[in-house]
Amino acid sequence: MGSLDGKIALVTGAGQSIGRGIALALATEGAAVTIAELDAGNAKKVAAEVEERGASALAYPCDIRDNAQVAACVAATVKRFGGLNILVNNAMASVVGIPLEETTDAAFALSFATGPAATFAFMRAAFPHLQGDGRIVNLRSGSELSGLPGYSAYVAAKAAVGGLTKVAAREWGAHGITVNAVAPFAPGPTTQAKFEEHPEMLDGILRSLSIKRTGDAEQDIGRAVAFLVSPAASYITGCTLMVDGGGSFL
C-alpha cells in the first residue's frame, strides 16, 4: 500500500523534468494523477508512465495562462476521478540570463502569467474540492535568497508564489487545507545541456552545496512533495522545504 492510495492529484507542467518526477513519485505512492501540460504529446507520455506504475492518469493539455483552461482542467480532473485532493503548482516559463535593465515587459509578464498568476488561478479553482483534507505544494526557488543575476523576472515571480503560499496557509488551514512550498535543485534537459557545454558552471554550483550532486527529479524532488501531501505531513503548513542539497536555507 502507498501513502497516497485513493488520493487524486493534479500536477502542472508534469510533462517533463521536475513536474514529471513529481507526477511519478505521487503515482508510486498510489495517487491518481492529472498531467496538466502545454505539450499534449508530453502529457500523454507521462500519463502512460504513471499508468505503468499502476496508478490512473489523465493527460490534459492546458495553457496555464488562460484562466478558463485552468478551471476546465480542474473540472475535468474532478469529473474523471470523482474529486481532487492534491494540487502541485510546478509549471512556469521564464526568459533568463538577461540583465534587469534589458528585461522586456513581455519577458516580465511571461514569468508572472505562468508563475504567481497561474498558481493563484489553480488554487482558486481547486479550493472547493480541496476543503476537508486537501494539500497544495507550490514550487519556489532558492534564487529568491541569492538574487541570481540575470533572473530578475524569474526571481520576482517565484517570490510572489512564496507570498501566495504563506497567505493561503494562514487562510485555508481552517478549511482543512495545508499549503506548502518546495525549492528544488534538479536541472532539466536544457540546463543539463548548458552544464555540458560549460562544465565550470556546474562545478561552481556543486562547490556551494553541502551535498555535492544534482538532485533527481523523482527520487529527490518528487519524494519530498509526496511527503508534504501525505498524512505524515498533516500538521505542516506554510513552510518551504529546500530540496537543493544545502544550497540555500530559507
Q: Give catalytic residue positions.
A: 154
- Please identify which residue in the block is written with the cell numbers 516580465: 108
Write the CA distances from 146 to 79, 100, 141, 202, integer angstroms. Answer: 42, 15, 10, 16
Question: In terms of C-beta density within 10 A (0-12 exposed, 13-18 middle, 19 or more buried), how is residue 193 classed?
Answer: exposed
Paired residues of 59 in beta bridges: 35
State the Cα–Cα distance between residues 225 and 182, nearest whole angstrom: 7
12 - beta bridge partners?
Answer: 36
Using DSSP, state whether 28 is helix, strand or coil: helix
- Neighbour count for residue 159 (Cβ, 10 Å): 16
